[in-house]
Amino acid sequence: MLVMVTVVVFILNETSADRCKDFLGGVCRDTSTPCDGGRYHAGFCDGQANRQCCVHDTTGDSECKAILGVCQDISSPCTGGIYHEGLCTGPVHRQCCSRVKVTGTDHRCKEVSGVCQSKFNPCSGGYITGLCTGPSDRQCCVPDTESELHFFPGRVSRDCLGCICKLESGCSPTVCNTNDMGLESCGYFQINPIYWIDCGKPGKDWKSCARDIQCSSQCVQNYMTRNAREQRCSGTCEGYARKHNGGPGGCKNDSTFPYWNKLKSIPGCENI
Ligand SMILES: *[C@@H]1O[C@H](CO)[C@@H](O)[C@H](O)[C@H]1NC(C)=O
C-alpha cells in the first residue's frame, strides 16, 4: 500500500478524496457501510484505515488504473512501461501495463510457490499477507496442490497440466474472460465453447465442464489427442502448452512463445 500511495501522491499531489474519485471513480466512505455491489480499495482516502474508496468497477481492473495502467495480454508489447502482475482480473497472462514503477520484488511469495495478485481474485488455495509488493489488497495466492491430484490422466502429465492451470486461471474454477472477438473462456484451463466442441464435448455443457477440474482436464487431454498426428506437435509440455494457447497449429507458431515463456516463469514450472 505504501508504494502505491507514494506513487499516486507523487504523480498528482491531489487530496485523497480526489485520488479516490480521479483514479478509481469512487467515493471515500467508512467500510462499515456496504459498498453496494462494489468493493473497497485501501490507500486512496485520508483518515482512519477503515475509510476507503468505494468503487463500482464493472471490469475489476481499477487497481491497474490506479497506477495509470491498462490491462492487456502480456503477448502485446508494453511500450514505455513494464507489466505488473496481480492488478488485473482474468487469467494470469492478463497484466497491467504501466509506466509507473512499483519497486521491490515478490520473491517471498514465489518462494512459497505462490502468485501475487489481488486478494479479490479467486485462489484455489489461500492468501498469505505480507509477501507481495504493492497495495495491501495484493496478496500471495498459494494454490491448493490437492486439486492437482484430480486431473484427468492422459498424455499430458499432471505437472504440465498443473502449470497450464496456474497460468490460465491461478488454477481456479471461477475465472471467466472474454477475448477481443467476444468469445468467453472460463475455468481452470480457460476453455471456450469452440475448444470444448473440439475436445469432444465432455460433461454437461461447456461452462460447467470448464469449471470442473476432472471435466476440464479431460477436455485438455482429449484436445491434445485430436490432430496429434497431422500437426506433429512434440509430446512435451511445451508442445501441449503452446497448442493449448494457439490451437492445433500453435505448437509451431512463434506467437505462442510468450505464453510458453510465461509458463516457465511460474515457480515450479521452470524445468517442466
Ligand atoms: C500464428 O498465429 C497467429 C495468431 O494467432 C495467426 O494470426 C497466424 O495465422 C498463425 N500462423 C500460422 C502459420 O498458422
Mean pLDDT by groups of 10 residues along the chain of 272 residues: 37 54 80 79 72 75 76 87 79 82 67 76 76 80 64 91 91 81 90 94 94 94 82 87 93 94 90 90
Q: How far is the CA of 250 from the centre of ligand 1 (A)?
A: 8
- Looking from the CA of residue 249, the nearest atom of ligand 1 is 14
Residue with grid cell 486439486, as numbered in its chain: 147
Query: How does DSSP classify residue 130?
Result: T
Q: How far is the CA of 134 from the centre of ligand 1 (A)?
A: 36
Rounded Cα gap, residues 127 and 130, in angstroms: 10
Residue ranges, comma separated, of all CATH 1.10.530.10 domains in the chain are 146-264
Q: How far is the CA of 180 from the centre of ligand 1 (A)?
A: 16
Ligand 1 in reach of 50 Cβ (< 6 A): no
Rounded Cα gap, residues 161 and 143, in angstroms: 14
Rounded Cα gap, residues 233 and 242, in angstroms: 9
Q: How far is the CA of 169 from the centre of ligand 1 (A)?
A: 24
Ligand 1 in reach of 76 Cβ (< 6 A): no
Choose one of 194, 253, 256 to mutate for the ligand 1 pocket test, by most ligand atoms within 8 angstroms of C-beta: 253
Choose one of 255, 256, 259 to mutate for the ligand 1 pocket test, by most ligand atoms within 8 angstroms of C-beta: 255
Enzyme catalytic residues: 168, 180
Number of helical H runs and strand E runs in the chain: 11, 11
Q: Residue whose CA is closest, atom 1 of ligand 1? A: 253
The CATH fold of domain 146-264? Lysozyme (1.10.530)
Q: Residue whose CA is closest, atom 4 of ligand 1? A: 255
* pTM for this model (two decimals): 0.52
Ligand 1 in reach of 249 Cβ (< 6 A): yes
Ligand 1 in reach of 15 Cβ (< 6 A): no
Q: How far is the CA of 248 from the centre of ligand 1 (A)?
A: 11
Q: What's the distance, Cα to Cα, between the start and end of the chain in Å?
A: 34
Q: Check residue 13 and give its pLDDT.
A: 38
Q: Residue whose CA is closest, atom 10 of ligand 1? A: 253
CA angle, residues 250, 251, 252, in degrees to nearest 5:
90
Contact 64, 26 (CB under 8 A): no
Region of 108 on the Ramachandran plot (φ > 0 left; ψ -120 to 50 alpha; else beta): alpha
Q: Check residue 169 and give its pLDDT.
A: 87
Residue in 162, 127, 166, 164 with CA at minimum distance from that of residue 148: 162
